[in-house]
Amino acid sequence: MPGDKYLIYVRGNTLDEATEEALHLAYWLLTRALLEHRRQGRNGDYETFAVEVLASLQRNRHLYTTQNTETQEIG
């Protein structure tokens, strides 16, 4: 779409692979957004939300990460 800043493309041969890729991407994007909010001094509810989601993704990474992708570099 013209004018869009971001286009997200998720690769995967299976639903599990696509889900894993999407969650890694969500983790990266949420981290970047959180850092930007902090840089601008906009803390508060968004920061609480972001930190909780990031913690949940990190805590449960073993559930959505396959053995093969743990050795691959993300990003």
State the average pLDDT for the chain.
Answer: 84
Nearest one of 14, 9, 17 to 69, comparing CA atoms: 17
Q: Which residue has the higher pLDDT, 1 or 21?
A: 21
Residue by residue, DSSP assigns the chain as -TT-S-------SSHHHHHHHHHHHHHHHHHHHHHHHHHTT--SHHHHHHHHHHHHHHHTHHHH--HHHHTSPP-
The per-residue pLDDT for 71 is 43
**pTM exceeds 0.85:** no
Q: Which residue has the higher pLDDT, 52 or 5?
A: 52
**Digit-coded pLDDT (tens) for 34-75:** 999 989 988 788 899 999 999 999 999 999 887 664 444 454
